[in-house]
Structure 1
């Protein structure tokens, strides 16, 4: 005779607790961890980000950290990639808009890059400075720099051969990163417009100009 099962059915993700589903609660915990991570980066740097410190500040146990991220290094790389992806998208959209409107591609590119970073100091620090001191991020920098360099590469004049265009594009990415890092850390005192003007001038000197 078949015995009746006494196991409980799986709890559906749509079951609500305090008016929220399990998926919604997990999403909120993940966002809290991300926001707290950026807060730590802004004030102390990425080296201060640990699972224990995040648990202490958020009140979430390590179990809740690992439900969203494979580990501390993986989380930092994921956040870095998200910032890099946003920068690439901004640059591509700005160039397309400048071409459509007959505007200055150099200025559009400089403004999109700079304004995208200064909106959030912690994200600017993660993108520009932390890869220099945080080993978890160092490996991803060349790939991200290459993505932005390719965008610049495509706007350089055809009078440059392929190798020259690649070298100039990487040089310009380095210029942007160095200037912005120095400015945001206070090593260089200048206004936003002065920084933009400098970057636009460098783009113009390399042959990126108006459509």
Structure 2
């Protein structure tokens, strides 16, 4: 009997049957498994701590078999780095929106500080991971943290440049100082070291920003 080649439509149908399961492609299923691992990592890192979390614990919490961790991540540090990347992406997106208004400089700075201090309260798990647990992870997480802080410094830099015109003053350097100081204030507040309200934290952070900008402006007029 002569072989009859299947029509292109039949080939496409067979390929689709092989490549999908339960209505999802292999790539979609892998993406869903990655998301489940990240959700479990966020939950466990924030509740029991990074140092007390194992790959097996993450897999068990996610309801996945052992082989699926390596499908998305090389290590727990890699998983933590992915979480930090997402957390900073959300923060930077919202901060960018907060300062993209026609309001005076002071109000836009306050908007950004309000976002930064509000996010840890919206999801305390993300707050703990970003401010506390990420500090005990490895080099991949440290890199994401460094990149996140650099991007935040870039936003502050854009605000500082609006009012500083003295060539002796470097807004980039000052922006690093502002972000570093506010980050430490936020960490101390989140951990209970600073016994103040969120509004007081916002006010104090804004005063720091204003102190730098006003002093720099006064210096430029001398």
Across the aligned residues of Structure 1 and Structure 2, the Cα RMSD in angstroms comes to 2.8
Cα drift, residue 67 of structure 1: 2.6
Q: Which of 188, 206, 209 is the aligned partner of 1:203? A: 209
Contact 1:80 1:127 in 2 (8 A): yes
Aligned pairs for 1:58-207 (under 5 A) are 58-97=62-101, 100-102=102-104, 104-136=107-139, 137-156=141-160, 157-161=163-167, 164-207=170-213
Aligned residues: 200
TM-score of the superposed pair, with normalisation by structure 1: 0.81
Q: Deviations over 1:117-170 (max 9, x none)?
A: 321122122222234221242233332211111111111132354763222211
Q: Which moved more, 1:20-29 or 1:197-206?
A: 20-29
Whether 1:39 and 2:43 are equivalent positions in the alignment is yes
- Greater fraction helix: 2
- Residues 142, 15 of structure 1: CA spacing in aligned structure 2 closer, same or farther, 3 A cutoff? closer
Unmatched runs of 5 consecutive residues or more in structure 1: none
TM-score of the superposed pair, with normalisation by structure 2: 0.77
- Residues 123, 181 of structure 1: CA spacing in aligned structure 2 closer, same or farther, 3 A cutoff? same
- Residues 166, 101 of structure 1: CA spacing in aligned structure 2 closer, same or farther, 3 A cutoff? closer
Q: Deviations over 1:71-109 (max 9, x none)?
A: 332222111111112111111110003xx2457122111
Q: Separation in 1 of the partners of 2:50 and 2:168?
A: 37
Q: Separation in 1 of the partners of 2:76 and 2:125?
A: 17
Whether 1:29 and 2:40 are equivalent positions in the alignment is no
Unmatched runs of 5 consecutive residues or more in structure 2: 5-13, 215-222
Larger radius of gyration: 2
Q: Separation in 2 of the partners of 1:55 and 1:132?
A: 23
Contact 1:13 1:22 in 2 (8 A): no
Contact 2:121 2:127 in 1 (8 A): yes
Q: Which moved more, 1:161-170 or 1:31-40?
A: 161-170
